[in-house]
A and B are shown apart, each in its own frame.
Chain A
Amino acid sequence: MKSDAQLLDDVLGPGVGETPEERAIVSTRRFVRGLDMLTAEVSEKARGRRLTATEALESYGFGVLAEVAAEGSAIISESVDAAGRALRERRDRLGLDIRAVARRTGLAPVVIEAIEASKRRPIREYERVARVLGLDERMLSFQADPATNERLAVRLRLLRDEGAGLSSGTVATLAEAAWVTTVQARLQRSLRLQSGDISFQPLAFFGSWDMPAYQVGYDLADKVRDALGRTPDQPIDSLRDVAEKRLGIMVLHAELAPEIGGATVQSGDGSRAIVLNIAGRNQNVYVARSTLAHELCHVLFDPPNELRELRVDAYAALDERPDQVTDRVEARANAFAVQLLAPQDGAVRLYDETTEDPLDAVLDHYGISFTAARYQIWNGKRRGIDINSIRAVRGQPDPAWEGRERYTASWHPLRELGDHPVRAGRFSAVVLRAADVGLISYDTAAEYLCTTQPALELAASQIRELYADVFMEAVPIIKLVTEPSVGQVASVQALTVKVGG
């Protein structure tokens, strides 16, 4: 009978650590995942998914890895038809047809049909379909029902068939956004990346007879600005930064139907993200900031029963006057948005002090949409002036705002992400960081980022510069200092790894 230490050596190679998890993170062993089998990486010809030891362990467990060590391979498929069935059922739940999935994946419809029939096809094709449908591709075929958020699928279907009339493209994009949210949250947790330093409790109060919903929104916005240490005169330079770094809320950019401003989406593990439409009126960065602020209110303060798995907001609803919106949840969020970006006191003061084009000054100083700014000034002046006299002269936003807010959604070192903006944000940096420390392989990272390993290597230094904070934060990881020679136990020490820092 082998001792635990011997077994760890056999399965993960020599190294330090008494548990499989500790040993896996320092292991140089690599595994290859096919649709049915996990094998040790012994052949360069294998075209399946390369996995690090940690990735394989986390996905399939130590027993499977031990079988690979003992037998050379381990069957990981739960049943022959599990993968195809899960994908077909998910597609049905989302209400997508085969051609829509084919378009999103770049695979031929006949290939999608073969995959849904669980025919022998490369694992990478199966994975691609899973990601587009928002499923955990690692669990495909391994579990009959890969971990996923079924309620999200049902809600997307409902929004497609009834309420919002979402198009196939939008449904698929939001499903993919849920997948991105799940992966990013999982990797951030494993990397122990700080997810914000400010948090708030949801508030199920949307106003009453003596306190209108918009007033509640103003108060909540003031609370957030206080926590951020911003005075009424100070603009929020990058709301995306505030959301991601201070409030720990993921912000994704995606191309949705032109009438949609934004959405909040919940992944299977409960993480939430804001999805900002890069099409439609959000192309104006001031509008995009207002949309983001509106969605922030939902994510920060709406109770779960209001947020549900998915909330989609049309531009039309975002644009209404806070005091005239009948939906109190939306009224609160609209008021929150305008007050967060341009507090009334500060905005009115600036308007009054500026002699030439005062509303333009407010727009450019606070980076807020014309409609929101106009109502803010009008309300701030107790509606004592004609609203039509509050006019903007310049049409275009100050370009400096564009870079701060859109960031890598406008330009990313990986050109391929131009077609997949939902993966082009902080997600790309978190994925690269996870590969740098061995949580996932560079093969997986490249696949997540829709690129090749050589292209990712070329872009890596720029991604590290763009999201320096992701790479600067210390992650306590036990790491080999020297590679072990044959028959010799490596010299090791616990240290704090700072990749690129």
Chain B
Amino acid sequence: MNLSSFVTCYPARLPARPSDNPDQDRLLTQADGVVNLVESGAAAALAQPTCKPGTPEGKALWVIVRDGVPAIVERAPNVCVPLQSGVAKHSNLTGAGLASCGGECWVDAAVESRLWVNGGSGRYGPRTPQELVDAVAVLMALGYDVISAGWSIDNDWPERTFREV
């Protein structure tokens, strides 16, 4: 599945949860460190020296919108104006606007084309296992080697940590 078929299949929606403060709705841009994973080599900017998939170490956020897959390192070290919450939220990638899906990712510094991906977003997270599978397919279609955390049968919710099955 590619980006355009994904956004057709999963129409963009507003955040499922309200923000805790107005600053979480501020739209961050390239100047703040947002990259678009559609662009070749963009993931390298998300790579962190201490990357531990499934933990806060090296975590980045992603969303799928109509024209791309914006992403930012959660701790947002390059943000122009400091964030009130101290970390970026998915709503900062959309300005609390529309997105089709969202989650968390980690970029392996040793293999920058490898993305560790989950659907961990309270605002735009996938609502079904298939939606997560399709979102992963979008990233793979963009050329990434994707490792997905999968879907939790226990929680009926996207898994956020990575375990061997």
Interface membership of B67, Cβ < 8 A: no
B155 touches A48 (CB 8 A): yes
Interface majority SS (helix, strand, loop, mixed), chain B: loop
Supposing A37-B155, A70-B17, A72-B125 touch, asked if A119 and B164 sit within 8 A by C-beta, the answer is: yes
B163 / chain A contacts, CB cutoff of 8 Å: 35-36, 80, 118-120
Which residues of chain A (28-65) have a CB below 8 Å from chain B? 32-37, 39, 42-43, 45-49
Q: Is A117 an interface residue (CB 8 A)?
A: yes
1/0 per residue, CB under 8 A from B, across A179-210: the answer is 00000000000000000000000000000000
B122 at the interface (CB under 8 A from A): yes
A36 touches B161 (CB 8 A): yes
- Inter-chain contact A75/B20, CB cutoff 8 Å: no
Q: A46-B157, A75-B161, A80-B162 are in contact. Are A37 and B152 (CB under 8 A)?
A: yes
> Which single residue of chain A is at the shortest CB-CB distance from B163?
A120
Quick check: is B114 within 8 A (CB to CB) of the other chain? no
- For the complex formed, measure the closest distance between the CB of B154 and the CB atoms of chain A, giving whole angstroms: 3
Among A108-146, those with CB < 8 Å from B are 117-120, 122-123
- How far apart are the CA atoms of A69 and B83 in the complex, in Å? 21
Given A37-B152, A70-B17, A72-B125, check contact A120 B157 (CB 8 Å): no
Query: How far apart are the CA atoms of A158 and B97 in the complex, in Å?
Result: 64
Once the chains bind, are A48 and B154 in contact (CB under 8 Å)? yes
Across the interface, which residues of B come within 8 angstroms of A48, CB to CB? 152, 154-155
A36 to B157, CA, bound (A): 11
Q: How far is the CB of A242 from chain B (nearest CB, A)?
A: 44
Give A118's nearest chain B residue, CB to CB: B163
Complex Cα spacing A177 to B64, Å: 52
Contact A45 to B164, CB < 8 A, known contacts A72-B17, A80-B54: no
Q: How far is the CB of A444 from chain B (nearest CB, A)?
A: 14
Cα distance, A48 to B159, chains bound together (Å): 13
What separation, in Å, do the CA atoms of A77 and B155 have in the docked complex?
14
Q: How many chain B residues have a CB neighbour from A under 8 Å?
A: 24
Rounded to whole angstroms, the CA-CA distance of A33 and B163 in the bound complex is: 17
Contact of A73 among B54, B122, B153, B162 (CB under 8 A): B122
Flag B98-142 by CB within 8 Å of A: 1 or 0 each: 000000000000000000000011100100000000000000000
Contact between B164 and A32, CB atoms less than 8 A apart: no
Contacts of B152 in A (CB 8 A): 34, 36-37, 46, 48
Q: Is A71 an interface residue (CB 8 A)?
A: yes
Q: Which residues of B contact A46 (CB under 8 A)?
A: 152-157
Residues of chain B contacted by A47 (CB below 8 angstroms): 153-154, 156
Cβ contacts under 8 Å, B31 to chain A: none
Check if A45 sits within 8 Å of B122, measured CB to CB: no
- Contacts A119-B164, A119-B165, A120-B163 given; does A71 touch B122 at CB 8 Å: yes
When the two chains form their complex, are residues A72 and B154 in contact, meaning their CB atoms are under 8 A apart? no
With A37-B159, A43-B157, A47-B154 given, is the CB distance from A72 to B122 under 8 Å? Answer: yes
Residue of B nearest to A79 (CB): B55
> Per a CB cutoff under 8 Å, which of A39, A71, A118, A120 touches B155?
A39
Among B120, B154, B158, max chain A CB count under 10 A is at B154
Tell whether B8 is near chain A: CB-to-CB under 8 Å: no
A211 on interface, CB distance cutoff 8 Å: no
A316: CB under 8 A from chain B? no
Whether, in the assembled complex, A393 has its beta carbon less than 8 Å from a beta carbon of chain B, the answer is: no
A120/B16 in contact, CB under 8 A: no
Task: Tell me if A382 is interfacial: C-beta within 8 Å of chain B.
Answer: no
Report the Cα distance A45→B157, complex, angstroms. Answer: 10
Name the one of B16, B120, B156 contacting A45, with C-beta atoms under 8 angstroms: B156
Closest Cβ–Cβ distance, residue A117 to chain B (whole Å): 7
CB distance from B17 to the nearest CB of A (A): 7
B5 on interface, CB distance cutoff 8 Å: no
* Chain B residues in 8 Å Cβ range of A39: 155, 157
**Residue contact B155 to A70, C-beta cutoff 8 Å:** no
List residues of chain A with CB within 8 A of the CB of B162: 80
Asked if A1 is an interface residue, CB under 8 A from chain B, the answer is yes
Write the nearest CB–CB distance from B124 to chain A, whole angstroms. Answer: 10
CA distance A42 to B122 in the complex (A): 13
* Residue of chain A at shortest CB distance from B150: A120
**Cβ–Cβ contact B160 & A73, under 8 A:** yes
Contact B122 A70 (CB under 8 A): yes
Return chain A residues, CB-CB under 8 Å to B161: 36-37, 75, 77, 80
Structural contact, B153 and A122, CB atoms closer than 8 A? yes
How far apart are B104's CB and chain A's nearest CB, in angstroms? 11
In-complex Cβ contact of B20 among A2, A34, A122, A123 (8 A)? A2
Please report the C-alpha to C-alpha distance between residue A49 and residue B156 in the assembled complex, in whole angstroms: 12
* Contact partners of B155 in chain A: CB under 8 A: 32, 34, 37, 39, 43, 46, 48, 73
In the complex formed, the residue of A with least CB distance to B162 is A80
CB distance from B137 to the nearest CB of A (A): 21
Smallest CB–CB gap between A6 and chain B, Å? 10
B 22-55 contacts with A by CB, 8 A: 54
Q: Which of B17, B54, B157 has the most CB of A within 10 A?
A: B157
A79 to B153, CA, bound (A): 20
Least CB distance, B116 to chain A, in whole angstroms: 13
Q: Could you tell me the distance between the alpha carbons of A496 and B80 in the complex, rounded to whole angstroms? A: 57
A sample of 10 more A-B contacts (CB under 8 A), given A32-B154, A73-B160, is: A1-B21, A34-B152, A36-B160, A45-B156, A47-B153, A48-B154, A72-B121, A75-B54, A80-B163, A120-B165
A-to-B contact residues, CB < 8 Å: 1-2, 32-37, 39, 42-43, 45-49, 70-73, 75, 77, 80, 117-120, 122-123
Pairs across A and B, CB under 8 Å, 29 listed:
A32-B156, A34-B155, A35-B163, A36-B152, A36-B160, A37-B155, A37-B157, A37-B159, A37-B160, A39-B155, A42-B156, A46-B153, A46-B156, A46-B157, A47-B156, A48-B152, A48-B155, A70-B122, A72-B157, A73-B120, A73-B122, A73-B155, A73-B160, A80-B54, A80-B162, A119-B165, A120-B150, A122-B153, A122-B154
Sorted from nearest, which 5 A-B pairs have the closest CB atoms?
A34-B154, A48-B154, A72-B122, A71-B122, A43-B156
